[in-house]
Amino acid sequence: VMTDFNSPSPTNEDKTLQNTLATADIVVLVAYFLVVMAVGLWSMWRTKRNTVDGYFLAGKNMTWWPVGASLFASNVGSGHFIGLAGSGAASGIGATAYEWNGMLMVLVLGWFFLPIYIASGVTTMPEYLQRRFGGRRIQLFLAVLYLFIYIFTKISVDMYAGAVFIQQALRWNIYLAVVVLIAITAFYTIAGGLAAVIYTDAVQTLIMLMGALTLMAFSFVEVGGWQALLDGYSSAVPSVRDPNTTCGIPREDAFHLFRDPVTSDLPWPGVLLGMSLPSLWYWCSDQVIVQRSLASKNLLHAKGGSLMAAYLKVLPFFMMVLPGMISRILYPDEVACGDPDVCKEVCGNPVGCSDIAYAKLVMELLPSGLRGLMMAVMLAALMSSLTSIFNSSSTIFTMDLWRHLRPQVSEWELMIVGRVFVLVLVVVSVLWIPLVQASQGGQLFIYIQSISIYLQPPVSVVFMAGCFWKRTNEKGAFWGLVLGLLVGCVRMVLDFVYPVPLCYEPDSRPDIIKYVHYLYFSIILSTFTLVVVVGVSLATEEPTPEQLSRLTWFSRFDQVPKMAKAADTEVPAALEIQGKQLYMDDGPKLILYNSEFLSPDPSFNSSKLKTFFLWLCGMNKQKEAPLPQANVSSLEEDPCMKRVVDANLIVCISVAVFLISYWA
């Protein structure tokens, strides 16, 4: 993806120094991989991996700090480092609005959505909609949509960003590098399940913070401090550019979060409203994020994890955006190149080279060993994102799609299917490399962002309506989802056909594209979806009591019905075992989903090789355990600790409001 910068040929002394640097960096990288593998293996002993809850929800035994670290690490992928630094170099601090909006939305998850999800006892987000609305079509539709978004957007974004850094820093062969990385991440994802992913995410978070803060310090020292950043950015203009265009000229509003509502790249009404709905989808209904919170011991630990993630979301502004702006000041001719021919020579992309801002700082400023640390940071960001996607995609495929195809599936089969699907994702990821490599961050990256903006608001509206409006029914949710996504796809196709013109090109796009910013369209799309959901719901039948009990904000404390009669046999109509509901189906037969108590004893030969394989995957044989007493999912909170987390909530919101107001 990247070509080398125009530097003079190194002398023999320089070559010796480079060899020394490479050796030191490789030592750091090897140490990093050993630590990650050790933590992954250690976590395999921490959780009962031979159950659905143990594998997909880490046994629901996670404390607040690994949950919070995993939320942050899952969100901050390698695309964050490359993308946020590149946005900072190109247009200033505007992209920080996404980070601080997410800071508020992860708190909304902990205080408003998680109590509903915990009370309902679900494992996946499509499963929640199936319980809330009944039927299967919404669950299957959403499961396929989520897998599409994960496989063809998140994986490709992170792999592209990782490829930029790997090739810029080490000149590794991209196929070899990505295959090795994916193999390592797939190993502990398959073997350890969500527990291994969360614990290794905690280590990755620590490494990311150490490395990124170190580079930030080097950057500020090199540029001359805070005031030098404020003064120097406006004059960071490349020496070669077309004087009759805006190419290479920094934005006048570079240090403003709230920008002109008509002519700017991020209009402030869109930042306040249009950005919130896609952000709400990501933080409050995306399987990757919610699954980590559902793994918490209880609601208090889940809230604590949300608080920790919110506090950490303050840092990308300082760790990524500001260093990207400093990179433009230090290297304006490369990072801020304003001529297509120069950009093509610098980074191989005539559109611009702002994406190299972070890698340029690493290669130019950091001494021996610290480059290896930053390489570990990027790999940590890449691996934590990939493991999160692998695990959550596997959960959705297994619990929503496979279980629909085989309603009587045993828990043993679910465990095998979940692990095999991770291998399928690995193959898809490797096959995706040529397309990512060929795109070079051009139209593919724009296309991926369009998918996110235009597909998320309808899903957010459906989840909000289902959680907070009892009258929402299946027909309203389904048609709101379908029509909203259809309208979003139309705009997405138009954006792809009529891309934003480059700085030296006239804007000949249709007015509906030119004057309706994508953040404004997000508001329009959300309103349209809400109107459809409300209109169709009011025009059709009301939801049944079973579709409301413990499935909305207002009914989350409902008691589960104890006994019901069916086929002259008295059996529990709806129980919960470890937070997992049992529902009656076809008479007196009880179907148990997600229970750790009915794992079959598979008839495998007792060869040492098979025994080792089963042990490695946490699928060792076990006898059936008796059905325990019903235990309803509890939303009770210790009064003292509840006051502590609520006080932290107020502090965290105050910090977010202050930061947004100060930079508005």
Do 369 and 234 fall within a single domain? yes
pLDDT digits (tens, 9 = 90+) for 413-451: 887 888 888 888 877 777 776 665 555 444 444 556 666
pLDDT number for residue 389: 83
- Decide: 445 and 79 in contact? Cβ < 8 Å: no
- Decide: 189 and 197 in contact? Cβ < 8 Å: yes
pLDDT number for residue 104: 95
Do 437 and 575 fall within a single domain? no
Query: Does 39 map to a domain?
Result: no
CATH code for the domain in which residue 306 is found: 1.20.1730.10
Query: Does 301 map to a domain?
Result: yes
Do 199 and 347 fall within a single domain? yes
pLDDT number for residue 83: 81
Query: Does 18 map to a domain?
Result: no
Pairing status of strand 580-584 against strand 574-577: antiparallel
pLDDT number for residue 649: 97
CA distance from start to end of the chain: 36
pLDDT number for residue 52: 61
Angle between helices 443-468 and 411-439 (to 10 degrees): 140
pLDDT number for residue 56: 67
Q: How far is CA 259 from the centre of its chain?
A: 27
Query: Does 531 map to a domain?
Result: no
pLDDT number for residue 371: 83
- Decide: 402 and 144 in contact? Cβ < 8 Å: no
At residue 160's C-alpha, the angle toward residues 324 and 445, to 5°, is 80
pLDDT number for residue 323: 95
Q: How many CB atoms lie within 10 A of CB 307?
A: 22
Type of residue at 400: D
- Average confidence (pLDDT) per 10 residues, the chain, 664 residues: 38 38 77 82 65 66 91 83 87 91 95 94 91 92 88 71 63 67 70 74 87 94 94 89 79 91 88 89 91 91 96 95 95 87 80 84 85 80 78 88 84 81 79 61 51 86 96 96 94 83 80 87 95 97 92 89 42 41 38 40 51 52 40 73 96 96 93
Of 424, 441, 458, the residue that ends a domain is: 441
Number of domains, the chain: 2
pLDDT number for residue 9: 40
Q: How many CB atoms lie within 10 A of CB 7?
A: 7
Of 425, 441, 457, the residue that ends a domain is: 441
Q: Specify the DSSP element, H or E, that contains 582.
A: strand 580-584
- Decide: 540 and 472 in contact? Cβ < 8 Å: no
Do 429 and 568 fall within a single domain? no
Q: Write the DSSP symbol of residue 576.
A: E
Query: Does 144 map to a domain?
Result: yes
Do 201 and 332 fall within a single domain? yes
- Decide: 179 and 430 in contact? Cβ < 8 Å: yes
Q: Which domain holds residue 183?
A: 55-240+264-441
Query: Does 380 map to a domain?
Result: yes
d(CA 102, CA 153): 19
Predicted TM-score (pTM) of this structure: 0.82
Query: Does 547 map to a domain?
Result: no
Query: Does 545 map to a domain?
Result: no
604 Cβ neighbours under 8 A, 6+ residues apart: 610, 614, 621
pLDDT number for residue 425: 80
